[in-house]
Structure 1
Amino acid sequence: MARRSIGQEQFGFAGREQAASSLDALVRLIDWNQVAALLDPLYPATKGEPAWPPLAMFRALLLSIWYDLSDVKLAEALDDRASFRRFCGFTANEATPERTAFVRFRKLLVAHKLDRALFEGVTLQLKSKAVTVKTGTLVDATIIASASDEDNDARWVKHKGKRAVHGFKAHVGADADTALVEEVSVTSANINDGKAGPAAVPDNPGEVFADSAYRGNHFRDAVLAKGGVPRIVATGMWGRHEAETLRKLHAWNKPIHRVRGRIEKIFGTWKRCYGLRRMRWRGIANAAAQVHLTAIAYNLKRTMNILAAQA
């Protein structure tokens, strides 16, 4: 399938002053040619209507996450907003994709299992810019409601004091200093954190900070095998004197709580700002794609903020 050529009008935005946008800085943040290379397997057929450039479509999906837009609203905004057009590579007067084009592109991403490759490729570039010395890793999980109670890949989970949720669980490993997400694993919501936790631990993680749900040899051994040092919240200690034992327990847990609490800000951003309160599509493959895309969008914005603060 042939691809459309976009951005060919040299003076598409001439005659009017361009408003500054953070999206322009995001275009310069990484080497997007590496991302385009990962997207090359899409649209391999030689027949049919010319396809929209995959990189433009991928950037459009990032816009839908940053601004919490449905496919319909994304198509409308891309047609209307100059900053959106520039970010995706469209000039002022070119046609832009309709809603169904985003649906098809997303299905292709999932079918080719490119969401994780894109996450890893973009994150590797961003870490080279923002992470100087690796000192520690935050590991935790968050529950995300399913798109429908009829999603057969999702499961019900009930925590004490909270209502039952039918959905999935995103297991995340993030850099303790920069809060960049380094590893992501998605399971049904009823999977134990400690059992799925090793998939969220990157190589050479440094000190690994996690809550008491990650107690046990399974997670601890996985951290040690990757060259890390477990720092897990303890729920109890042995000792002869109660007061002294409680003091030691508090002294162990306090610095862990102080560090691992940073990961809650990541989940808060995902859910409050990026629309990840609920999955948009059914199935665990689609759920994983949504989480990976959200992590990419978050890491891009987070890196831009880190570099701006350093400057």
Structure 2
Amino acid sequence: MSRRRIGQEAFEFAPDRKNASTLDALSKVIDWALADRRLAMISSAAKGEPAWPPLALFKAMLLAVWYDLSDVKLSEALDDRSSFRRFCGFSRSEPTPERTTFVRFRKALVAQGLDKVLFDEITAQLKAKAIKVKTGTLVDATIIASASEDDADGHWVKHRGRTAVHGYKAHVGADADTARVEEIAVTPANINDGRAGPDALPDNPGDVYADSAYRGDHFGQAVRAKGGTPRIVATGMWVRDEAEIRARLEAYNQPIHRIRGRIEKIFGTWKRSYGLRRMRWRGIAKAALQIRMTAIAYNMKRCLNIVAVAH
């Protein structure tokens, strides 16, 4: 397949270390050549046109997550912002992709199931940079509203005291120390947390911290099968005295709550800063793509922050 060549001109960006973009640092967080090889067979070209380099489009999709941009706004920003051009590999004056290019690129990623492949590849690279030895895993799920209530793959769910939501559920396994997302499963919103939880478990999870929705043999056995130890919030104990029950439950649950609560910051960042309050597109395959792209973007920034603190 024919491909466009980009970045051939001199960038002509004045070097200014004081005002260097965070994107310059993020561009060094991973080995992009490995991601490029995963994308080698992707083409997002319209008929009769050379294809844009897929790695440039993949980087552009990360920008869309970090800056909460629609396809239209992403295309405009790429055309206008030097830091965006530099991150994706475009020189200062050459043309950049139009909105429809990103639509075709997403379809190609979904068709080949590359969202999980890329998530696994980049997560493995970032894990290798971890400063701390892994000691535990946080597991929880968050509900994300669908792009439309007509989305047949989504489902209604209603929790006590909350408004019913039509959408999907992201089941997440994250490192307990670094809050780096390690595994993701995406289901309709009505799927039980404990039932889908095993699909969000990484290998060798250590102590696994989760709320009471994960109590039961199904999740517990999955944790042990992967070499971990369940640390699940308890709802009751076999003690006669009610005051003693409350005291024991508080003593048992408090350290679990303190650690597992860290995962709420992940979901908060996704929804507050990365636009994951609602799905952008219909269908569970595209929902999974959006969630995994969000997790990749989050993990890269998280890794950058961890390394900065360590130094």
- TM interval, shorter chain, is over 0.9
The share of aligned pairs that are identical, in percent, is 69
Paired residue for 2:273?
273
Preserved contact between residue 44 and residue 52 of structure 2 (Cα < 8 Å):
no
Q: How far apart in 2 are the matches of 1:224 and 1:131? A: 26
**Alpha-carbon spacing, 1:189–1:16, altered in 2? closer, same or farther (3 Å):** same
Shift of 1:201: 0.8
Preserved contact between residue 43 and residue 105 of structure 2 (Cα < 8 Å):
no
Paired residue for 1:87?
87
Shift of 1:44: 9.6
Q: SS of the residue aligned with 2:168?
A: strand
Q: SS of the residue aligned with 1:288?
A: helix
Q: How far apart in 2 are the matches of 1:67 and 1:78? A: 12
Q: SS of the residue aligned with 2:144?
A: strand
Greater CA drift, 241-250 or 260-269: 241-250
**Alpha-carbon spacing, 1:62–1:158, altered in 2? closer, same or farther (3 Å):** same
Q: Could you list the per-position Cα deviations for residues 139-175 of structure 1 after superposition, in whole angstroms to 9, with x for gaps in the alignment? A: 0000000000000000000000000000000000000
Paired residue for 1:242?
242
Shift of 1:16: 7.0
Preserved contact between residue 223 and residue 230 of structure 2 (Cα < 8 Å):
yes
Paired residue for 1:145?
145
Preserved contact between residue 44 and residue 104 of structure 2 (Cα < 8 Å):
no
With normalisation by structure 1, the TM-score equals 0.97
AA aligned to 1:55 is L
Q: SS of the residue aligned with 2:129?
A: helix
Q: SS of the residue aligned with 1:130?
A: coil
Paired residue for 2:303?
303
Q: How far apart in 2 are the matches of 1:95 and 1:168? A: 37
The count of corresponding residues between Structure 1 and Structure 2 is 309
> RMSD across aligned C-alpha pairs, in angstroms?
1.4
**Alpha-carbon spacing, 1:82–1:206, altered in 2? closer, same or farther (3 Å):** same
**Alpha-carbon spacing, 1:7–1:218, altered in 2? closer, same or farther (3 Å):** same
Q: How far apart in 1 are the matches of 2:224 and 2:184? A: 19
Which blocks of at least 5 consecutive residues in structure 2 are unaligned?
none
Q: Could you list the per-position Cα deviations for residues 219-278 of structure 1 after superposition, in whole angstroms to 9, with x for gaps in the alignment? A: 000000000000000111111222222211111100000000000000000000000000
Q: SS of the residue aligned with 1:277?
A: coil
Which blocks of at least 5 consecutive residues in structure 1 are unaligned?
none
- 1:101-180 aligned within 5 A: 101-180=101-180
Q: SS of the residue aligned with 1:56?
A: helix
Q: How far apart in 2 are the matches of 1:307 and 1:15? A: 27
Paired residue for 2:290?
290
AA aligned to 2:176 is A
Q: How far apart in 1 are the matches of 2:41 and 2:184? A: 23
Paired residue for 2:42?
42
Is 1:197 aligned with 2:197?
A: yes
Greater CA drift, 128-137 or 12-21: 12-21
Paired residue for 1:70?
70
Q: How far apart in 2 are the matches of 1:297 and 1:85? A: 17
Q: Could you list the per-position Cα deviations for residues 71-96 of structure 1 after superposition, in whole angstroms to 9, with x for gaps in the alignment? A: 00000000000000000000101100
Preserved contact between residue 43 and residue 52 of structure 2 (Cα < 8 Å):
no
With normalisation by structure 2, the TM-score equals 0.97
